[in-house]
Chain A
Amino acid sequence: MIGWRSTWSIYTRELMRFLRTAFQSVLAPVLTTSLYFIVFGAAIGGRMPDLGGVDYGAFIIPGLLMLTLLGETTSNSSFGIYMPRFTGTIYELLSAPVGVAETLIGFVGAAMTKSLILAAIILLTARLFVDYTIAHPLLAVLYIMLVAAAFSLFGFILGIWADNFEKLGIIPMLFLTPLTFLGGTFYSIDMLPAPWDTIALANPIVYLVSGLRWTFYGSSDVNIWISFGITLAFLAACVGVIAYIFKTGWRLRA
């Protein structure tokens, strides 16, 4: 049994939190994406050959989208649950007739919504710099939602695990961003010399960037179904961890 009113309350409140900082939330990705396009798209991209028949400026769009998506989704979701723990307001959530389903749909749903809004903003910003057409738009939206869901769940786990602000920031900063940069955001894995092209496949972000690139241009470094499979497996693993957290009350209930 899911309490939909409770879920809706959590969801809308989280979105309100996002709207309170809407200016910063919208402007930051627009500015960052623009800078990437100016530096990599216009300045360097002009000297780069087409990759797989795709103009370099267009080639980096899925990677840039993934870069922002992973960072923003993880931090939105982790802050969403960490702040109530930090300020003590979590008492209200814990004392309410609200279970894992309501909490997840509310918090993670809001984080996903924010991510989708950001994705749309980034794609619109990209349009100002390069021409591109999305080969499989429905699959692209589905894939973006899937990745947003998985990393919202991951962020939720992070927000429960972290017991200080440093821990909250360390995973996105030290792992997600470097792995995304090394995950084929700005290049094709094929361009790497051996053995780095094989080693790169150990980076899970490669599959995410590659999967999104396939939905955009119909070609990628890795088979699209492997990308979907890995994303789904990661999502399932996060759901499992969260179910365990709620069952045991780890870091939530004394």
Chain B
Amino acid sequence: MSETILELDGLTKVYPGGLKALDNVDLKIRKGEIFALLGPNGAGKTTLIGAVCGLVRPSSGTITAFGHDLATDWRKARARIGLVPQELSTDMFEPVHRGVSYSRGLFGLAPDPKRIEEILRSLSLWDKRDERIMALSGGMKRRVLIAKALAHEPDLLFLDEPTAGVDVELRKGMWSIVDEMRARGVTIILTTHYIEEAELMADRVGIINGGKLLMVDEKEAMMARLGRTEAHIALANPISELPVSIARFPVEIEEGGTSLCYRGGDGTGRGKEEVAEITKALLASGIDYTGIDVRESSLEDIFVSLLGEEQAA
């Protein structure tokens, strides 16, 4: 298993007023992975990031980054962590190049114009380097924030809702930026509302709600464990009973016998295989069908179902 570069142990944050934003969170982040933290608004995602990045003071628990305890040895740890905040917070009067260079200096690194140029070019900001940040579009401003976070060449990067409020094209551009960073070996923790984003990019997924980390797993493993296949088979003629040959499958008769519904599988493709077997069995039993609609459940379905269970509990 890869080296752990960030470890949260019993991390709890209670804000003045009593709101428990983080409740005994344990989490290990491995070197080089992309970890997606999913959760509804107010789940504790930003508080978790804030606690690691020094914006929030934990009430209890420990945070260890790169082997350094953040409570005592924070300088060494913070020097290797970058943060792209959710809000577009930057000095709007500052030219892009100066803002990014400032960030590098703030983290204690010597000026390196070549490195800054490389970062700006990789984010398509080089042509805008002398423009004031206020003159840029929202998407470009977000790129500036990413450039500022990359200026000190962090090993661990937090992206808090990196694609919130940006259009589809820009979102895809952002995904390719994340891919490039992954290729450079940067470990990334991102929070997102777009589950499609996590499904596309993340190696592992953590689901957080009410300050509690409900589940952490490999994306594929999570989908295999909790994923389902749903198939609707439209029959040429109505039936009243299932043929014996498909009785062992999780199939139900619907719509007055004109349709069969299969809900099963495990997210690994077994569901599709079973649907194929069912269709063969139907034909062998002399039952014809006019259409098949097969749908794999997404991470979103898993997410919604997990949150539903949590609320019911």
Contacts and interface: CB of A to CB of B under 8 A. Distances in A.
Nearest to B92: A87
Contacts of A99: 75
B90 interface: yes
B91 A89 contact: yes
A2 B55 CA distance: 21
26 contacts: A1-B75, A5-B110, A9-B105, A9-B106, A88-B85, A88-B87, A88-B89, A89-B90, A89-B91, A91-B53, A92-B83, A92-B103, A92-B148, A94-B53, A95-B55, A95-B83, A96-B107, A97-B75, A97-B76, A97-B78, A98-B106, A99-B75, A249-B57, A253-B54, A254-B50, A254-B56
Interface in A56-70: none
Contacts of A96: 78, 106-108
Given A87-B91, A89-B91, A254-B15, A95 B108 contact: no
Given A16-B98, A254-B15, A92 B106 contact: yes
B108 A91 contact: no
Interface residues of B, number: 33
B253 interface: no
B109 interface: yes
B91 A95 contact: no
B175 interface: no
B77 to A, nearest CB: 8
Interface string A65-105: 00000000000000000000001110111111111000000
Interface string A212-254: 0000000000000000000000000000000000000100011
Interface of B: 15, 47, 50, 53-57, 74-76, 78-79, 81, 83, 85, 87, 89-94, 98, 102-103, 105-110, 148
B93 A8 contact: no
Given A91-B55, A249-B57, A6 B105 contact: yes
Given A95-B83, A98-B106, A253-B55, 11 more contacts: A1-B75, A5-B105, A6-B106, A6-B107, A20-B93, A87-B89, A87-B90, A91-B55, A95-B81, A253-B56, A254-B57
A1 B76 CA distance: 12
B106 A93 contact: yes
Contacts of B54: 94-95, 253
Contacts of B47: 254
Contacts of B57: 249, 253-254
Contact of A97 (B56, B79, B83, B94): B79
A13 B102 CA distance: 7
Contacts of B81: 95
Contact of B108 (A3, A20, A93): A3
A92 B91 CA distance: 11
